[in-house]
């Protein structure tokens, strides 16, 4: 484990010293995707009021407060580069580790390029997006993977790291569902986001996400995800504010039943070494 960490740490100076304007996004994405690969908030670009398309007034006000608490839309849109590390494990129902990932993410917004490197169970996976074309290698050898599959993987990461700012992207059906008391006693507001890939080109899957917003400060503290074959509950345990933006630090993802009862821990995430330019 120590050897792997030293290896991944050795990658950081390489990425940070490169003269290329590359968005090195080191990920192997496990989870669910909703919007297409882009960290910018699309509605903010096409509409003077980035919240105008959200018809549910209660939901609109909560989302706006959440974005302000997370640093504000202007701060997010002015970001030219984002770097961080992400280490996580996938667990089986038995508690046994299925896979272990150690990653470095480096995003540059213009020109929009993504270069992904991820150490997965001893193998180096390199995924790249350049000039609209996706590619992947494993230990230096080309891997035959469809453009659609690679895009979907990147979509998930950019969507998750972009919360709550990505919540104002157009097309989702947004509905305020009421209040909920979490297991730890916190009171949250629940907003449902329904994505339809068939109806909207900027949606890559037709999943439903329910976001839980803290009643006091509007921080996104958890989300409940409904996919065609399972349910998940992701808890945001700790956060870190860097460059004026609030980022997740520790997260845990549980497989749950339709009522949200935890079945087993599916994944444990640690985000670290954030740098914002």
Give residue-wise pLDDT tens across range 66-114: 999 999 999 999 999 888 999 999 999 999 999 999 998 888 888 887 8
Residues ≥6 apart with Cβ < 8 Å to 142: 135, 136
How many CB atoms neighbour CB 41 within 10 A?
21
pLDDT the model gives residue 121: 85
Give pLDDT tens digits for 178-196.
999 998 999 999 999 998 7
- Asked whether the predicted pLDDT for residue 13 surpasses 90, the reply is no
Q: Read off the pTM.
A: 0.81
Q: pLDDT (tens digit, 9 = 90+) per residue, 22-36?
A: 333 333 333 334 555
Q: Which CATH superfamily is domain 2-276 in?
A: Lipoprotein localisation LolA/LolB/LppX (2.50.20.10)
Query: What is d(CA 252, CA 88) in angstroms, rounded to the nearest whole number?
Result: 9
DSSP line for the chain: -HHHHHHHHHHHHHHHH--S----------S---B-S-SS-HHHHH-SSTTTT---HHHHHHHHHHHHHTT-HHHHHH--EEEEEEEEEEE-TTS-EEEEEEEEEEEETTTTBEEEEEEETTEEEEEEEETTEEEEEETTEE----HHHHHHHHHHHHHHHTTTGGGG-TT-EEEEEEEEE-TTS-EEEEEEEE--TTT-TTBSS--EEEEEEETTT--EEEEEEE-SS-EEEEEEEEEEEETTEEEEEEEEEEEE-TT--EEEEEEEEEEEEEEE-
Q: Domain coordinates of the chain in residue numbers?
A: 2-276
Enter the tokens of residue 142. 């080309």
């Amino acid at each position: 484990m120590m050897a792997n960490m030293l290896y991944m740490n050795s990658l950081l100076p390489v990425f940070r010293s490169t003269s290329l304007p590359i968005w090195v996004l080191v990920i192997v994405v496990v989870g669910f995707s909703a919007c297409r690969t882009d960290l910018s908030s699309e509605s903010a670009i096409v509409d003077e009021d980035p919240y105008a398309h959200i018809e549910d007034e209660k939901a609109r006000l909560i989302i706006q407060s959440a974005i302000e608490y997370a640093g504000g839309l202007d701060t997010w849109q002015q970001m030219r580069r984002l770097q961080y590390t992400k280490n996580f494990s996938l667990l089986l129902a038995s508690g046994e580790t299925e896979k272990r990932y150690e990653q470095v993410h480096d995003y540059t917004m213009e020109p929009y390029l993504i270069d992904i490197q991820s150490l997965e169970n001893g193998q180096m996976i390199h995924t790249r997006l350049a000039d609209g074309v996706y590619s992947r290698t494993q230990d230096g050898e080309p891997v035959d993977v469809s453009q659609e599959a690679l895009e979907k993987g990147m979509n998930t990461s950019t969507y998750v790291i972009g919360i709550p700012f990505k919540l104002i992207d157009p097309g989702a059906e947004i509905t305020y569902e009421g209040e909920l008391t979490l297991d730890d006693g916190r009171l949250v507001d629940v907003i449902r986001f329904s994505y339809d890939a068939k109806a909207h080109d900027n949606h890559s899957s037709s999943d439903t996400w329910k976001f839980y917003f803290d009643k006091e400060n509007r921080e996104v503290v958890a989300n409940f995800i409904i996919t065609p074959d399972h349910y998940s509950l992701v808890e945001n345990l700790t956060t870190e504010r860097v460059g004026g933006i609030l980022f997740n630090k520790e997260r845990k993802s549980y497989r749950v039943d339709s009522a949200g009862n935890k079945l087993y821990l599916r994944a444990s995430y640690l985000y670290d070494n954030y740098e914002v330019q």
